[in-house]
């Protein structure tokens, strides 16, 4: 564990009190284009002063975390594992604060309930479960390049096809009372 | 609580040792046709000697449970609620054994992992989360009248359009080593 | 998986509709005396027509399950593991119905909330967590040879020193409205 | 929800990258002396640059959070509730980042696994469950004015009788590799 406060790696981070939490969910594996989308979205979240929440693993989770971390943002992760039963790759190198659940897939529910807005990027069945739990819990979801699902969503499932559109939708959602 | 062993309501149930568990998942609200499908499927599960697992609530969950219960089957339910914080309608009247979780939607994960085969009937985002968790955990899913989802599933997501087809698929899945 | 309905291992079990569920909690490791206590208690639970619930592992859990299983009772287990990420020894050989959670220690909460009465036998910190969760949730606990804890419990934590006393307390608790 | 970034309530907080997380667990109700202990410990955690983690409720949780929040520290809370099913008093007014679980008591497991060191202050069965889960997961526990429990703990359960001693133990634990 490298949690010691080594002056060489200390960096100052400014966070708003009671910030918005924006979740970025997606798969362990993704194409270079998807990973670059995730990195840019993580970076943009940090630059807006929001906290980034991911599942703490590889792929889209890591790319978004790297983008936010390197932009000076605060990066949270809700891990499926815990310290006694670690999983390889959890948390990735760009997580500031890791919530240790040991609950495997049940942590997806927390990922879906905690953010003020969730951005789903591509992804497989794990991401699909997070979209479904979010919509059951009234968390708005911006879905970038995910499969469409034909179920009622009260306007809370917003399909997006680009990073720019995703961020415009995010700003719109956070500009009004949630 | 009516757990007292009142001779008037006592009924003998025969269960196999280490039975197959078949999950039936679906929404709180459903059309009369969907409810009748669920009831018939629950009944057929009981007549095959399998244990029925549902989420313990109303709608599809209750209809399937009623079908199995009245056919003499054993009915399990994994509740989102617990005794200290009960939810109206949980468990429904046709549950033999209620697993009290108090975990709200996180119990969907247990619903998806526990059965040897899961049958999803119609349903909304809750059911969709259970389908997604099942496929993440290699539980085969027979999907009767649910929206289709365009994600890889290694042959484990089987679309069905009738009760008869659903039961034929169930028998096929349980006839070979899981 | 030996879930096939092989006629040679088929056994008929009679269960009451809506039976009482009695939890038996305890450690993975225990002395021969403690294991014999657990086995006798499991057997007595089955003979009374109650369903046994354990955590599904070794030690006290296995001994109680063996006692109940061989006496023809129905044995439930709430596992910390699931099929995709199995844990050695879970479920033990005497479990009829295994609830797959994959939630590690969080399944202790379900163990504590589900039974109508919980019997804790000896045990370590895991068992202690189950006692604590039970008392937070108004599940009465009969504690056989466990460390005492000096906290208010509204009469719900009943110390016991023998199998006979444990069963007498169990019968007393289940004879009145819970 | 007052999550809007109102310039009047904006405060800058400095956090270390990958900070230590210190949990403070305790009951909803406590004497004025216990609450003052909790407030001072929260304040000291913030002044050391650690992140405070609590269960997000009233009593000891709120007092510790107030101490840390007003000292400019980052305050995390793992809530038993979620936005769709809120619980009165959760989160308290001094929480920066709320993890929404909706899992009731099962969130105690996360409270026990996440911090690098857990400080238990007084408390009842909920706190006792968190101590037990922590020791099952090798999280060291400093126990200030809690009941003693006679179980093996490999030196990880450290009884304390004063705020000063608690903080000295905390500094000692965090000064060496965890």
Q: Which of C178, C177, A103, A151 is nearest to D137 (CA)?
A: A103
- Confidence class for position C8, pLDDT limits 50, 70, 90: very low
For residue C174, is pLDDT > 80? yes
By Cβ distance, the residue of D13, D20, D137 closest to A3 is D20
- How far is it, in rounded angstroms, from Cα A23 to Cα A53? 4
Chain A nearest-CA distance from C112, in A, is 17
Minimal-distance CA residue of chain D relative to C138: D125
Q: Which of B42, D114, C46, D11 is nearest to A97 (CA)?
A: D114
Burial class (CB within 10 angstroms; exposed 0-12, middle 13-18, buried 19+) of A47: middle
Tell me: the pLDDT tens digits for C100-151? 999 999 999 999 999 999 999 999 999 999 999 999 999 999 999 999 999 9
- How far is it, in rounded angstroms, from Cα B171 to Cα D54? 50
For residue C7, is pLDDT > 60? no
Strands annotated E in chain D: 13-15, 21-26, 51-54, 75-79, 97-100, 117-121, 141-144, 157-160
For residue D10, is pLDDT > 60? no
Q: What is the pLDDT of residue A167?
A: 98
Subunits with 3+ C-beta pairs closer than 8 A to A: B, C, D
For residue C10, is pLDDT > 50? no
- How far is it, in rounded angstroms, from Cα D1 to Cα A165? 26
Chain B nearest-CA distance from C156, in A, is 14
Minimal-distance CA residue of chain B relative to D82: B104
Is the torsion defined by CA of C107, C33, D125, D33 positive or negative? negative
Mean pLDDT, to the nearest integer, of C11-31? 79
- How far is it, in rounded angstroms, from Cα A101 to Cα A132? 20
The residue whose two tokens read 């109508």 is C116
B32 C-beta neighbours (distance < 10 Å), count: 8
Q: What is the pLDDT of residue B177?
A: 58
Is the torsion defined by CA of D148, D150, D155, D157 positive or negative? negative
Tell me: the pLDDT tens digits for D81-100? 999 999 999 999 999 999 99
What is the average pLDDT value for chain C, to the nearest integer?
A: 90
Q: What is the pLDDT of residue B176?
A: 72
**Interface contact B98-C109, CB threshold 8 A:** no
SS3 D153: coil
* Cβ atoms of residues B21 and B114 within 8 Å: yes
What are the C-alpha distances in Å from B44 to residues B56, C4, C6? 18, 18, 20
Please give the DSSP secondary-structure letter assigned to residue D90: -
Subunits with 3+ C-beta pairs closer than 8 A to C: A, B, D
- Confidence class for position B178, pLDDT limits 50, 70, 90: low
What is the average pLDDT value for chain B, to the nearest integer?
A: 90
Angle between helices C60-70 and C32-47 (to 10 degrees): 40
By Cβ distance, the residue of D125, D150, D151 closest to C136 is D125
Tell me: the pLDDT tens digits for A74-121? 999 999 999 999 999 999 999 999 999 999 999 999 999 999 999 999
Q: What is the pLDDT of residue A3?
A: 40
Tell me: the pLDDT tens digits for B119-150? 999 999 999 999 999 999 999 999 999 999 99
Tell me: the pLDDT tens digits for D39-88? 999 999 999 999 999 999 999 999 999 999 999 999 999 999 999 999 99
Task: Render each residue's pLDDT in chain A as its tens digit; 178 residues.
Answer: 334 433 332 333 344 578 999 999 999 999 999 999 999 999 999 999 999 999 999 999 999 999 999 999 999 999 999 999 999 999 999 999 999 999 999 999 999 999 999 999 999 999 999 999 999 999 999 999 999 999 999 999 999 999 999 999 999 999 975 5
Task: Name the residue with higher pLDDT: D5 or A68.
Answer: A68
Q: What is the pLDDT of residue B145?
A: 95
SS3 D113: helix
What is the average pLDDT value for chain D, to the nearest integer?
A: 90
For residue D14, is pLDDT > 90? no
Q: What is the pLDDT of residue D177?
A: 59
For residue C178, is pLDDT > 70? no
By Cβ distance, the residue of B104, B113, B147 closest to A150 is B147
* Cβ atoms of residues B173 and B117 within 8 Å: yes
- Confidence class for position B18, pLDDT limits 50, 70, 90: confident
Q: What is the pLDDT of residue A16?
A: 53
Interface with A, mutate which of C104, C106, C110 (most A CBs under 10 A): C104
- Confidence class for position B115, pLDDT limits 50, 70, 90: very high
Tell me: the pLDDT tens digits for C72-90? 999 999 999 999 999 999 9
By Cβ distance, the residue of B102, B104, B105 closest to D105 is B102
Q: What is the pLDDT of residue A131?
A: 98
Mean pLDDT, to the nearest integer, of C22-34? 97
Minimal-distance CA residue of chain D relative to C27: D136
* Cβ atoms of residues D21 and A65 within 8 Å: no
User: What pairing do the DSSP bridges indicate for beta strands C75-79 and C97-100?
Assistant: parallel
Q: Which of B91, B88, B51, B89 is nearest to B69 (CA)?
A: B51
Instruction: Give the contacts of B119 (CB within 8 A, at least 6 positions apart).
Output: B22, B23, B24, B25, B41, B141, B142, B144, B166, B170
The residue whose two tokens read 């105690």 is D108
User: Residues of D with CB below 8 A from C126's CB?
Assistant: 132, 136
What residues of chain D have any CB closer than 8 angstroms to a CB in chain B?
A: 82, 85, 101-106
Chain B nearest-CA distance from A50, in A, is 26
3-state per-residue secondary structure call for C46-65: HHCCCEEEECCCCCHHHHHH
Chain C nearest-CA distance from A67, in A, is 30
Q: For chain B, give the percent of residues with pLDDT over 90.
A: 87
Q: Which of C101, C87, C84 is nearest to C57 (CA)?
A: C87
């Amino acid at each position: 564990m490298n949690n010691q406060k080594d002056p060489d790696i200390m960096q100052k981070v400014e966070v708003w009190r009671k910030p918005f939490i924006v979740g970025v969910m997606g798969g362990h594996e993704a194409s270079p284009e998807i990973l670059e989308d995730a990195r840019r979205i993580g970076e943009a979240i940090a630059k807006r002063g929001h906290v980034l929440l991911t599942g703490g693993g590889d792929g889209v989770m890591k790319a978004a975390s790297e983008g936010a971390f390197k932009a000076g943002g605060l990066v949270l992760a809700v891990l499926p594992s815990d310290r006694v039963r670690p999983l390889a790759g959890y948390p990735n190198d760009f997580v500031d604060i890791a919530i240790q659940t040991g609950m495997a897939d049940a942590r997806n529910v927390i990922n879906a309930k905690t953010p003020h807005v969730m951005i789903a990027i591509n992804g497989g069945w794990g991401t699909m479960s997070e979209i479904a739990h979010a919509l059951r819990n009234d968390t708005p979801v911006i879905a970038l390049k995910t499969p469409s699902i034909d179920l009622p969503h009260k306007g809370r499932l917003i399909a997006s096809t680009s990073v720019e559109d995703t961020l415009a939708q995010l700003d719109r959602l956070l500009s009004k009372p949630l």
